[in-house]
Structures are given as structure tokens and as C-alpha cells.
A = this chain, B = another copy of it.
Amino acid sequence: MTETGEKMYNLAAELFPIQRSLTGEGVRETLNILRRELPGLQIKSVPSGTKCFDWTVPKEWNIRDAYIKAPDGSILCDFKKHNLHVVGYSVPVDAEISLEELQEHLYSMPELPGAIPYITSYYKERWGFCIKDSERKKLKPGMYHVKIDSSLTDGVLNYGELLIKGKNDREILVSTYICHPSMANNEVSGPAVSVYTAKSVLENADRNYSYRFVFIPETLGSIVYLSMHYKEMKEKTAAGFILTCIGDDRVYSMLASRDGDTMADAAARHVLKNIDRNYKEYSFLERGSDERQYCSPGIDLPVVNIMRSKYNEYPEYHSSLDDMSVISPQGLSGGLNAVLKCIEAVEKDCRPRITVLCEPQLGKRGLYPTLCSKDSGLRVRNMMNFIAYSDGKRSLIEIAEKIGTPVWELYGYIDSLTDAGLMELD
């Protein structure tokens, strides 16, 4: 896992500096790197102006340069030094303006004076610069030259899609987003872990489920994608996992689906609890990523978020402080492990049923100690509990919850018991 952690970290680091937004060159550059890792990845384009449910795909935004020249000639908010300096989707500007006028176009975080905030204005034409509050405070009166060399033109919205066939048509969805410029936990951790999740799925020739990996711009991307695919996804999706903020090493967390009672909820809740008793479960009321669309009324997909430190809940969130020091190979590895265990829990879920009446005689099959003493009951307690609750009515995860053991400890028992002809799986 450590080696994979390093690989994920390196991929994240490669993606980090790219200028991403809802649309534009940076999204395509990102998707090309992901396709290098996952050759089956399809890169799709949806033209500006396309209607998707209540929304319309906006113009494509590209930016080449941006800066502010101060009265003393110094350069501030240099886009080439940090792409967070420009408000996302800023219209072009090239003008001399007073400090007073400039202030109306500046965004900073007084509570984090050393951070450049992340700000966008997708749906109203604006321009603006994001600046450290400590620098903003030093600005002196005078005339400033503001320059944003950007363009808003008819173009496309891009996303990536990787479909992997399994033994049956039921699908597991893995969704992550590719629309934020240089941020680590709240951007590049998601694609990095998604790529290695897909690699792991591809290595498992025995998979029962089919898989749908999507790499989309957040919010509008899921709306666009759902507008084209929601009917088949409603039919096929067994469980879905949004991977976001999944690279730091502070906590494990999940965000439940709207009703909190889907297969994805059960799997994520069980896995995270058994990985880390202190994991946090957030309710759908605290949502903020693409579950807003996947779980909306009428879409109703069984989708949860799997995260380390949740968006909006860690101090570096949506600022330049969310850099590559926030995430780590260990953090990404932990996230990947949680995702793979969730997927495995869905893959292996079944309703086991013991085939003999009364307890089976495990002793004659070498599955039970032959000497009955005060402790022997305890030693095989887990397997006996598993048998006792394998009544054909409970799912494997429900049994694991009931008997208080991680579901992955039951996989071996299933093999032993089915081999011995004592168990059938419905």
C-alpha cells in the first residue's frame, strides 16, 4: 500500500498546478493525464449552450495571463505564480483604476491573512482577483493597472468516463471532480484515488459488478452527466461513491445519502466504523458535492461521499493553503483502502443461509475444537455467531453489524462453510 500511496501522491502532484475550471484547456490537460493512467478512459465534450435539466452548459473559459500592476510598478496577484489569484470565469479586463475601485474586485480572507481564497463566478459575468489579506492591507492609494487576458467563447464542457464490464449489469459508481485549480485535498486527491481504485478493479477478473468511473466538473458536470445517463443509472446502480477530500491523514468520514439507508450507506458506514471507531458520519444536510445531484428527488441514486477531512471542515479548505503538504501518501492510501473495502463489501454482499437444521457439527470437519472447556465456546464464537444469524434473511453486512465484527472477517468463513456444503448464498 505504501508504494501505491507514493504513486497516488505523485499523480496528485502532477495534476496539482494545472489551471482547471468548469471548462477549458486545463480540464482537457487533466483528463489526458488520467487517460494515460487509465487507457480505457473516454474523454467527452458537451457544447456550450446545451440544455441539461434546468441548466445550460456555459461558454468555455480560458485564461492566459492576469496580474495587477501597483502604482510603484510592482506586480501583484500574478496568475503565473498562482492560479488562485484570479476569480474563476473572470471576463477580460485591461484598465487603469483607483485603489477604491480595485477594492470592489478583490477577495481575501481576513481570518486567514496568509491564504489566497478560491472564488468563482460561473453564472454572472464579473472579474476579480484573490489576494492574501496581509498583502491587501498593504495596498496604497493610487492608480492600478488590472489585466486579465481571458476569453469566454463557445466551446465545450469536458468530462471523463470509464465503463468496466463485470459478470452482471448491476453497477458500482465512482465519481470524482476535476474543476478546481491548484488545491490538493479538495481536488487532486479525488482523481488520484479514483485512478488507483479503477486500476484495482481492472486487476480483479472476478468482479461481479460492472463499474462506472466518472471524472466531472463538480455540480454542473454531474447535472450534465445525469441528464444524459440518469435513466440507465437508476436502473443499474447498486451503490455509488463520490471520492472527494480523500488525501489527508486526519480523520475518516462519510456523508450519507438523502435517506441514509442505501447499500452505499450501509457499506460505507460499516467499513469506516471498522477501520476507525472515531470516523465521522455527516448527514445529507451537510452535503456539498455531487451527491447534491445524484441524490436529488427523482434521481435518487444510492450514493455517498467517502472522505478523509470533509470539505468545509478543515482550515485550509478552498484556499491556497490546501496545497500538497495537506495530503500525503499515507492519507491517500488510507482513503484508497476505505474505498476498496466498500467496493468489496458490495461485491461480496449476499444473504447467507445455513443448509442444516440446528448447529452443524463443525468438529468432524476440523472447524471446531474437540475438547470442550470453559473457553472453547469463546474461541469459535465469531464463526458460530455468523452461522446463527445466517438465516437467509440478513445481508452479510447486517450480520457483521449484528455480531460486531468487520465484514471482511466473514469472507473466509463463507469459503469454509460453502466448501463444507453447510452454507448457500442468496
Stretch at the interface among A139-147, A190-198, A292-300, A339-347: A292-300
Partner of A359, one of B117, B292, B318, B361: B292
Q: Is the CB of A389 closer than 8 A to any CB of chain B?
A: yes
Copies in the complex: 3
Contact B223 A358 (CB under 8 A): yes
Q: Is the CB of A205 closer than 8 A to any CB of chain B?
A: no
Contact B123 A370 (CB under 8 A): yes
A377 to B219, CA, bound (A): 13
A107 to B376, CA, bound (A): 14
Partner of A357, one of B118, B119, B230, B359: B230
Q: What's the interface size class on A, roughly? A: 35 or more
Contact A404 B297 (CB under 8 A): no
Tell me the chain A residues, 380-426 only, with Cβ under 8 Å from chain B: 384-385, 388-392, 402-404, 422
Tell me the chain A residues, 114-132 only, with Cβ under 8 Å from chain B: 117-124, 126
Q: Is the CB of A258 closer than 8 A to any CB of chain B?
A: yes
Tell me the chain A residues, 287-318 only, with Cβ under 8 Å from chain B: 287-288, 292-293, 295-300, 312, 317-318
Contact A124 B55 (CB under 8 A): no
Contact B124 A53 (CB under 8 A): no
Instruction: Collect the chain B residues with CB atoms within 8 Å of residue A357's CB.
Output: 53, 226-227, 230, 296, 298-299
Which of A122, A296, A356, A358 gathers most chain B CB within 10 Å? Answer: A358
Given A55-B358, A121-B371, 13 new contacts (CB under 8 A): A54-B359, A226-B358, A227-B358, A258-B389, A284-B388, A285-B403, A287-B388, A292-B384, A296-B354, A297-B354, A297-B390, A300-B391, A312-B374
